[in-house]
Structure 1
Amino acid sequence: MSVLTQSSVKESFSRCCVNSKFLDRFYEIFLASHPAIAPLFRNTDFSKQKMALRSGLAMMVMHTEGNKIGTQGLDRIGQSHSRTRMNIDPSLYQFWIESLIKAVKECDPQCNAKLEGEWRQALKAGAAYISSQY
């Protein structure tokens, strides 16, 4: 990713986080996106989960910048989502990406087609990195 793209995604992420509906909206969309997803969250404390998502997204953005702390964060996520731990099927990440894109489009008033593409690029790279540890 180019520096400009990274900056655009980081700024968009900041705008989304200011919107109190962003994380709730993401989970509404995500849980309804595939029948296998909602059961994975059956016993989830969503206040903790939303904090984890926000942190994970920040790590993903940092990872795309080449930041080692971001990469270490994604390593922890990859390990926790691996087949030996939570066993999150990598095929479900496409629904996570699409759900996040929809939430960004709803919650970032400056989102446009170019920024959506930049988000997609960042999310796909992060999801691929996490999935590589499955």
Structure 2
Amino acid sequence: MPLAEVKESYSRCCVNPKFFDLFYETFLASHPTIAPMFAKTDMTKQKSLLRQGVSMMFMDLGGVAVGTTGIDRIAESHSKKKMNIDPNLYDYWINSLVKSVNACDTKMTSQLETEWRKTLRSGVDRIASQYNK
């Protein structure tokens, strides 16, 4: 299943006005250390950043240089020296996003979910690999 189908699924989710709210509701409740990290966050801005970040993952996986640069910037901001986001928390992020996609994409299948997880894992692994830089 090509990346194009994951991107189409994401497009279907993005037009659902509840998608990003559902994601953050799920993500913030997924682990006790996550919600406090967002206590002073402008969530409107954060939702926009999430939307862009997922798109950067798609571009990076597709070999588009601007996507790779974007993921590397996210990695730098999330590194130990900056926001110090524990790489172990990324599994909660992936699971929360996939759960939200499952709830919002009426064309979701188990095969598409597997592709979503592979796609997100690729981006998350790139980010996590730069944690100690």
Do the structures match in fold with TM over 0.5?
yes
Alignment correspondent of 2:10 = 13
For 1:83 and 1:44, the matched residues in 2 are separated by 19
How far has the Cα of 1:55 moved from its partner?
Answer: 0.3
2:122 is equivalent to residue 125 of structure 1: yes
Alignment correspondent of 2:104 = 107
- Given candidates 32, 37, 42, the residue that maps to 2:34 is 37
Map Cα deviations across residues 49-93 of structure 1 (whole Å, 9 max, x no partner): 000000000001111111111101001100000000000000000
Alignment correspondent of 1:23 = 20
How far has the Cα of 1:99 moved from its partner?
Answer: 0.1
For 2:80 and 2:59, the matched residues in 1 are separated by 25
Extract structure 1 runs of 4+ deviating beyond 3 A: none
Uncovered stretches (5+) of structure 1, i.e. residues with no partner: none
For 2:95 and 2:50, the matched residues in 1 are separated by 15
Alignment correspondent of 2:69 = 72
How far has the Cα of 1:5 moved from its partner?
Answer: 1.9
For 1:127 and 1:86, the matched residues in 2 are separated by 15
Map Cα deviations across residues 81-133 of structure 1 (whole Å, 9 max, x no partner): 00000000000000000000000000111001000000000001100000111
Pairs aligned (count): 131
- Residue 119 of structure 1 aligns to which amino acid in structure 2? W
Alignment correspondent of 1:85 = 82
- Given candidates 47, 50, 56, the residue that maps to 1:50 is 47
- Residue 72 of structure 2 aligns to which amino acid in structure 1? D
For 2:6 and 2:76, the matched residues in 1 are separated by 25
TM-score, L = length of structure 2 = 0.97
Uncovered stretches (5+) of structure 2, i.e. residues with no partner: none
TM-score, L = length of structure 1 = 0.96
